[in-house]
Amino acid sequence: MKNNEAVPQGLSIFPTGNANDAFAQYFTGRSFLAPVVNNDELKTHISNVTFEPSCRNNWHSHTGGQILIAVGGRGYYQEKGKPGQLLLPGDVVEIAPNVVHWHGAAPDSWFSHLAVECNGDFNKNTWLDPVTDEEYAEATAGEYGLTEQAAANVGTWYPGAADPIAKTDPELSQIFNNFAFGDTQQYGNLDTRARILVTLASTVAQNTVTEFRKVVGAALANGISPEEVKEVLYHAVPYCGMPRVEDLLGVANEILLEKGVQLPLASHSVVTQADRQEKGLALQVEIFGEGIHNGYKNSPADQLHIQKYLSANCFGDYQTRTVFDKKMRELLTFSILVSLGGCEPQVKGHIAGNLGVGNGRDTLLAVVTQLLPYIGYPRTLNAISCINEVAK
């Protein structure tokens, strides 16, 4: 952990405070302290304590006991002689007087808790030995059992966030996260930004509200702009249909408003009703070649309107928009189509489109591998079959 790494924004609703220098000798790693209640008349003292990943305090006890209320990230509590206990936001620990214990952050997550001093008129701390690396590793091994690579990638995508299923289904959490953030992210040369964007597009195609919400958080935590998050949704409409996108649009707007983003965002359209078909057709030809004109020539009269809609609406209204370039838009389209399933003819067409704009076979295989944990093996294998057929 870098010594100057900032606390993630929005870790909890309570302030982070300042470096906990007064008690630094009793902590392994950096911690921060923010007094919340300091009332001598009520004999009540409450502070928000924030730990960087792997930070923990020494073994210690309180003559008057203590209450911990987890408010952000993932952390641990352990009593002497007992297993470590995973703490997620909302968890409460009641510590009896004179019980020797420690508490701190998970190895790959920031953590904040409220520390409530009980029986303040006589409560005293007794600080003991530091928690050794071996003790800490053993206490925290039960949470995920993540590989080093998986833990690092989880920490990059979801800094300070808790896996919703880690507490109820720790084995499934371990299996999925080791695969999705360890195995599959070691394949291919996609950067974090591209991995998050194609995964976000996949969650839209599948209308998976919980995963979409998580990946939006990952996007914003990794420098992907609100405009880009919204544009993934806009881009998905002609491929998924509005009903599949509309609820997720509401989720994205809710998240952005919570972060103080002013809505609506600026317009990114570059067409008018008068030129949308012309500009859309020009973009189709640029991506797929002159053969696009054959679609018009060979179309039955009662289906020609679909060819015109493809040019004016799918490509004119949506694909010509700014925010993403042609290479990223084709990757998003490919991700959406393979995630929908049953779209193999269109998948093949957009494999050709990806090749036309410079996304090679290796990039497409990297995208499919990235999406495997989210779309499953049948759709993944269908996509690879299409790649093998088109990108020989």
CA 370 to chain CA centroid, nearest Å: 14
CB 139 within 8 A of CB 106: no
Give the single-character DSSP code of 342: S
CB 60 within 8 A of CB 101: yes
Q: Which amino acid does the sequence have at 180?
A: A
How distant, in Å, are the alpha carbons of 160, 299, 328, 346 from that of 306? 47, 9, 25, 15
Average pLDDT over residues 314-324: 97
Question: Per-residue pLDDT tens for 189-211?
Answer: 999 999 999 999 999 999 999 99
What element of type H or E holds 103? strand 101-105
> The tokens 């600026």 sit on which residue?
266
Sign of the four-CA dihedral 230, 232, 234, 237: negative
Number of Cβ atoms within 10 Å of the Cβ of 178 = 19
Q: Which two tokens stand for residue 99?
A: 């019980």
Number of Cβ atoms within 10 Å of the Cβ of 126 = 11
Average pLDDT over residues 64-80: 95
CB 131 within 8 A of CB 28: yes
Query: Of 316, 386, 373, 359, nearest to 202 (Cα)?
Result: 373
Query: Of 22, 28, 11, nearest to 139 (Cα)?
Result: 28
Question: Per-residue pLDDT tens for 365-391?
Answer: 999 999 999 999 999 999 999 999 999
* Burial (CB count within 10 angstroms: exposed 0-12, middle 13-18, buried 19+), residue 153: buried
Q: What is the pLDDT of residue 142?
A: 57
Single pTM value for the model: 0.74
Average pLDDT over residues 266-280: 97
> Who contacts 125 (Cβ-Cβ below 8 Å, separation ≥6)?
60, 61, 62
Average pLDDT over residues 74-92: 92
Task: Look at 274 and 165; give whichever has higher pLDDT.
Answer: 274
Is-cis flag, bond preceding 264, omega within 30?
Answer: yes
Number of Cβ atoms within 10 Å of the Cβ of 85 = 18
Give the single-character DSSP code of 359: -
Residue 2's pLDDT band (boundaries 50, 70, 90)? very low
Q: Which amino acid does the sequence have at 60?
A: H
Question: Per-residue pLDDT tens for 242-268?
Answer: 999 999 999 999 999 999 999 999 999
Average pLDDT over residues 13-22: 94
Does 167 have pLDDT greater than 80?
Answer: no
Task: Look at 161 and 354; give whichever has higher pLDDT.
Answer: 354
Q: Across 76-90, 140-154, 156-170, 316-330, which has the greatest mean pLDDT?
A: 316-330
Q: Which amino acid does the sequence have at 15?
A: P
CA 116 to chain CA centroid, nearest Å: 31
Q: How far apart are CA 368 and CA 345, in angstroms?
A: 17
Kindly calculate the radius of gyration of the chain based on its CA atoms and give it in whole angstroms. Answer: 26
Q: What is the pLDDT of residue 367?
A: 98
Does 161 have pLDDT greater than 80?
Answer: no
Residue 289, Ramachandran bin (φ over 0: left; ψ between -120 and 50: alpha; else beta): left
Does 302 have pLDDT greater than 80?
Answer: yes
Average pLDDT over residues 40-51: 88
Of 142-146, 164-168, 176-180, 230-234, give the lowest mean pLDDT range: 142-146
Tell me what the pLDDT averaged over the chain comes to: 93
Of 170-179, 267-276, 378-387, give the lowest mean pLDDT range: 170-179
Does 123 have pLDDT greater than 90?
Answer: no
Does 1 have pLDDT greater than 50?
Answer: no
Which 3 state secondary structure label does DSSP give 295? Answer: helix
